[in-house]
Amino acid sequence: MNTLNWGLIGGGKGSQIGDAHRIGSAMDNCFHLAAGALDIDPKKGKQYAKSLGVADDRAYGSWQDMLSGERDREDGIQLVTVATPNSTHYEISAAFLKAGIHVLCEKPLTMTVKEAVKLQELAAKHNCLLAVNFGYTGYPMVRQARAMVQGGKLGNIRLISAQFAHGHHSDAADMDNPRVRWRYDPKQAGVSSVLADCGIHALQMATYIADQTVSNLSAHFLSAVEGRELEDDAALQINLSGGTTCRLWTSAIALGHMHGLSFEVFGERGGLRWHQEQPNQLFYTPLNKPTQILERGGKGLHKDAVAASRIAIGHPEGMMPAFANIYKDLHAAMLGSEDAVARLPMSDAGVEMVKVVQAAAKSAKASGKWVTL
Ligand SMILES: NC(=O)c1ccc[n+]([C@@H]2O[C@H](COP(=O)([O-])OP(=O)(O)OC[C@H]3O[C@@H](n4cnc5c(N)ncnc54)[C@H](O)[C@@H]3O)[C@@H](O)[C@H]2O)c1
């Protein structure tokens, strides 16, 4: 294995998503954590990086120091992951792309369409890969669903219903919780809360499976908890480029829902159903035939699902191996594989989802008026 040097920005101790990146990137030996600027607090960031085995001189106090320290090293990082809060994604990703370093940026790619497009241009100009971590596309049975839909197994796709509805921001008493408050503050979160945070994962997955883009949409936002400026629930009706209708429900007030990410695909000749909380089973119902449960690791699956799967059938395989599949494909893409690029959520998806967020906020303000992307 040609293990490549990797750097992480954000993902400090106790962060929500840092561990999934560290474990995912290392799972197949594709990347080695060579450098890190892991925390907004320089001292904590350096300490944590060193505790993870990063060399003293590559445990940085800030991303700016990391950029100047790494860009001229012969063994400098080849890929950086940006796992900081949303409002910093643009500045950090732009700086590393300009230095010719490949970027995996957390979602949402940026806060504005202009910034997202600019990042895409920078990636092209500097001959870099720019991927966006819609990490749930790394699940084997999501890739199976994609292969079945794109292989024509379900015929023409009439409707996709996508959901990312959880209930973790239901308590009005959480208004003062710092981890919740910023998400509903337009200065820090932008024009959308739960759609930008969660809903775009489900919608991106729908477009990934259908191989279609968003044409236009109508959105309705609800701010259910009193005092919230941004939405904590949203429903979108969407027309996709290939003629499929998509309905998206995303929520942070759906009490009783845990993670709540799922999709259902309804074609002329069959239907598919997948829920991220039972990721190893894909329910397939051919027209006029009984429902089949396709098991991860089982026989007869598409090669993309087989390649994305690691352990024997029946053993739970979840989110970190799904992230590992993103890193495995990034590694292959960095070594020139076009197939890997086709499997990855690249900057196109990142730009599109930033456009969706902006269009939905505009539509919701106009009581659901249709907005073209
Ligand atoms: N793809 C996914 O499934 C997924 C899941 C959760 C979060 N996310 C995204 O990941 C990003 C981070 O979210 P989180 O929930 O881990 O946030 P978090 O608040 O839990 O952690 C953020 C981390 O970044 C560090 N940080 C902040 N500013 C920094 C800076 N300028 N330089 C270096 N480090 C800095 C903080 O100290 C902290 O360690 C967000 O963009 C979020 O949308 C993605």
- Work out whether the CA dihedral 188, 192, 193, 195 comes out positive or negative: negative
Q: Does residue 90's CB lie within 6 angstroms of at least one atom of ligand 1?
A: no
Please identify, by atom number, the ligand 1 atom nearest to the C-alpha of residue 15.
Answer: 20
- What is the distance in A from the centroid of ligand 1 to the CA of 16? 7
Each residue's pLDDT expressed in tens, for the chain with a length of 373 residues = 799 999 999 999 999 999 999 999 999 999 999 999 999 999 999 999 999 999 999 999 999 999 999 998 999 999 999 999 999 999 999 999 999 999 999 999 999 999 999 999 999 999 999 999 999 999 999 999 999 999 999 999 999 999 999 999 999 988 888 778 888 999 888 999 999 999 999 999 999 999 999 999 999 999 999 999 999 999 999 999 999 999 999 999 999 999 999 999 999 999 999 999 999 999 999 999 999 999 999 999 999 999 999 999 999 999 999 999 999 999 999 999 999 999 999 999 999 999 999 999 999 999 999 999 9
Q: Does residue 87's CB lie within 6 angstroms of at least one atom of ligand 1?
A: no
Q: Does residue 66's CB lie within 6 angstroms of at least one atom of ligand 1?
A: no
Q: Does residue 167's CB lie within 6 angstroms of at least one atom of ligand 1?
A: no
- What is the distance in A from the centroid of ligand 1 to the CA of 18? 7
Q: Say if CB 296 and CB 313 are below 8 A apart.
A: yes
Ligand 1 binding pocket mutation candidate from 9, 16, 52, 81 (most atoms within 8 A of CB): 16
Q: For the chain, which domains are there? A: 4-132 (3.40.50.720), 137-313+347-365 (3.30.360.10)
Please identify, by atom number, the ligand 1 atom nearest to the C-alpha of residue 82.
Answer: 11
- What is the distance in A from the centroid of ligand 1 to the CA of 38? 9
Please identify, by atom number, the ligand 1 atom nearest to the C-alpha of residue 17.
Answer: 16
Instruction: Choose among 338, 354, 312, 367: nearest CA to 118.
Output: 354
Residue whose CA lies nearest to ligand 1 atom number 4: 17
Which ranges constitute the DSSP H helices of the chain? 18-26, 42-51, 63-70, 89-98, 113-125, 140-150, 178-181, 186-189, 194, 200-210, 303-307, 319-334, 338-343, 347-365
Q: Say if CB 169 and CB 306 are below 8 A apart.
A: no
DSSP string, 222-253: E--STT-SS-SEEEEEEEETTS-EEEEEEES-
Q: At what angle do helices 347-365 and 113-125 cross, to 10 degrees?
A: 170
Ligand 1 binding pocket mutation candidate from 84, 107, 133, 320 (most atoms within 8 A of CB): 84
Instruction: Choose among 44, 6, 272: nearest CA to 146.
Output: 272
d(CA 361, CA 358): 5
Q: pTM for the whole thing?
A: 0.96
**CA atoms within 13 Å, Cβ hemisphere of 369:** 7
Kindly report, residue by residue over 235-280, the tens digit of the pLDDT.
Answer: 999 999 999 999 999 999 999 999 999 999 999 999 999 999 999 9
d(CA 94, CA 205): 25
pLDDT computed for residue 283 by the predictor? 98
Q: Does residue 17's CB lie within 6 angstroms of at least one atom of ligand 1?
A: yes
Residue whose CA lies nearest to ligand 1 atom number 9: 106
Please identify, by atom number, the ligand 1 atom nearest to the C-alpha of residue 12.
Answer: 39
Residue whose CA lies nearest to ligand 1 atom number 39: 12
Q: Does residue 67's CB lie within 6 angstroms of at least one atom of ligand 1?
A: no
- What is the distance in A from the centroid of ligand 1 to the CA of 36? 14
Q: Does residue 107's CB lie within 6 angstroms of at least one atom of ligand 1?
A: yes
- Work out whether the CA dihedral 218, 279, 134, 261 comes out positive or negative: positive
Q: Does residue 16's CB lie within 6 angstroms of at least one atom of ligand 1?
A: yes
User: Would you give the distance in Å from CA 317 to the centre of its chain?
Assistant: 18
Q: Does residue 232's CB lie within 6 angstroms of at least one atom of ligand 1?
A: no
Q: At what angle do helices 63-70 and 89-98 cross, to 10 degrees?
A: 10
